[in-house]
Amino acid sequence: MCKANIFRTLRPDEIEVRVQQVSESGGKVKAVLLLYKNARVDMDMLDEHFGCLGWQREHTFKDGKNYCKVSVFDTKFSRWVSKEDVGIESNTEETKGEASDAFKRACVNFGIGRELYTAPSISIELNNGETKAGAGKNGNSTYRVSGWVKFRVSYIGYDEETRAINDLVIVDGNGRVRYSLKDSHKATPPMGRPVPQPTRKKITTDDLMDEEYLKGLCEWLNKKAVGKKLDDVIRTYYECDNETVANITNEYLRRYAS
């Protein structure tokens, strides 16, 4: 991983999760999840670092393939710096998908989202009702995830020196933890049973009345929530209802909002 990467690491809300593969073994259906970024994230990151007029993209076709060259303006040496890569066609929109993929790959060459390549192998067990079965070759059953099943990254942490992913929490559409890098044995649910929640500290009413406790909590959140959604960080590490989350958020903003 390049330590001189000029771009910040991606926030949880900038990372997409998709099902890469579904398979059955021993009566259990599991899904392999993949982390990725979309082209809008790349555009936002380029705008954020170089300004909307400080970068440009150009597409060309070579040997029937779509290549994208992304150029950024280096103000230190007053010159344009370019990086290029080729795209792979999409299963749904061939031309548009190939152009988008080429752009995203060129942006990775600059370092945007390169930390996603350090992601662990993510495999989760699916619950009853989350999959649809079909007939494959030789009469074997095939499985796919139901359309309503969604996953998202609720928290991600990086090694400060290498930028490699060292902490990761993935939840489903109901906010239930389905994968935790540091507590993976609790993240895989048995078939048909409730998804277990991670072990979290419980915040009581007495805690919220303790000025020293709130001060320490807000100081910790101010360090832990950099580049992340405050709500996700609170819910990942603490057991509390919506009202408690709102109270903590208000106290945090009172202390640190500029």
- pLDDT of 67 reads 95
CB distance 233 to 165 below 8 Å: no
Taking CA atoms, 173 is separated from 29, 62, 105, 152, 153, in Å, by: 19, 41, 29, 8, 11
Q: What is the mean pLDDT of residues 198-224?
A: 79
Report how far residue 107's alpha carbon sits from residue 24's, in angstroms, rounded to the nearest whole number. Answer: 36
Q: Boundaries of CATH 3.30.390 in the chain? A: 12-186
pLDDT tens readout for residues 9-64: 999 999 999 999 998 877 788 999 999 999 999 999 999 999 999 999 999 998 88
Look at the domain 12-186 and name its fold: Enolase-like; domain 1 (3.30.390)
- pLDDT of 240 reads 78
- pLDDT of 11 reads 94
pLDDT tens readout for residues 130-152: 888 776 666 666 778 888 889 99
Residue type at 112 in one-letter notation:
I
Taking CA atoms, 192 is separated from 27, 29, 130, 208, in Å, by: 12, 11, 10, 37
Is pLDDT of 199 > 80? no
- pLDDT of 3 reads 57
Q: What's the whole-number average pLDDT of the chain?
A: 84
Q: What is the mean pLDDT of residues 165-185?
A: 86
Tokens encoding 39:
């082209």
Is pLDDT of 233 > 50? yes
CB distance 131 to 144 below 8 Å: yes
| Residues 6 or more apart whose Cβ sits within 8 Å of residue 229 | 11, 12, 13
Torsion of CA 152, 159, 101, 136, to 10 degrees: -50
Tokens encoding 77:
């040496």
